[in-house]
């Protein structure tokens, strides 16, 4: 009886290892990247409004500007290597799309800087 219970436990552990390798893959679901403001806006007891929304969908990073911002500096940086991946100024009206699969895997930070707004958010890219 003891052998059967040990065999049963061993099979359960072994079946869990088969799916463990699939976990750190990039999801094809649309995920929102939370953007934190750095402009010193007071905290209210309501949802925080950000003029910028960022979503990651598979290997595509979508940046949506909720309102027109003049001369927005967008920077994407690899946090692990401190390498600046993208540094571009936009006259933001609608948004932009960035293919992030070419930058490899790791933890990244996207930051925005304009005359009236500054914010940043962090996201992960998993190897395929």
Q: What tokens appear for 115 in the block?
A: 């005359």
Taking the chain (128 residues) in runs of 10, the rounded mean pLDDT of each run is 69 60 56 75 56 86 84 91 90 79 86 88 81
Give the distance, in angstroms, between the CA of residue 12 and the centroid of all CA atoms in the same chain. 33
Check residue 114 and give its pLDDT: 87
Check residue 108 and give its pLDDT: 92
Q: Which DSSP letter does residue 25 get?
A: S
Class of CATH domain 23-125:
mainly beta
Q: Which residues of 63-88 are buried (b: 16+ CB within 10 A; e: fewer)?
A: bebeeebeebebbbbbeeeeeebeee
Check residue 23 and give its pLDDT: 45
Check residue 110 and give its pLDDT: 92
Q: Interior CA angle at 100 toward 103 and 64, to 5°?
A: 145
Contact status, residue 107 vs residue 124, Cβ threshold 8 Å? yes
Check residue 79 and give its pLDDT: 92
Spatial distance between the Cα atoms of 28 and 128, rounded to a whole number of angstroms? 12
Contact status, residue 64 vs residue 53, Cβ threshold 8 Å? yes
Spatial distance between the Cα atoms of 30 and 97, rounded to a whole number of angstroms? 13
């Amino acid at each position: 009886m003891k052998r059967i219970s040990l065999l049963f436990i061993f099979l359960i552990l072994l079946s869990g290892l088969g799916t463990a390798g699939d976990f750190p893959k990039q999801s094809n679901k649309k995920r929102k990247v939370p953007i934190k403001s750095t402009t010193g806006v007071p905290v209210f007891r309501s949802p925080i409004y950000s003029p910028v929304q960022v979503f990651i969908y598979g290997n595509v990073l979508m940046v949506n500007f909720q309102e027109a911002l003049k001369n927005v500096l967008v920077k994407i940086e690899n946090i692990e290597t401190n390498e600046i991946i993208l540094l571009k100024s936009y006259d933001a009206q609608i948004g932009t799309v960035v293919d992030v699969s070419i930058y490899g895997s790791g933890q990244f930070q996207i930051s925005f800087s304009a005359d009236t707004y500054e914010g940043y958010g962090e996201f992960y890219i998993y190897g395929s």
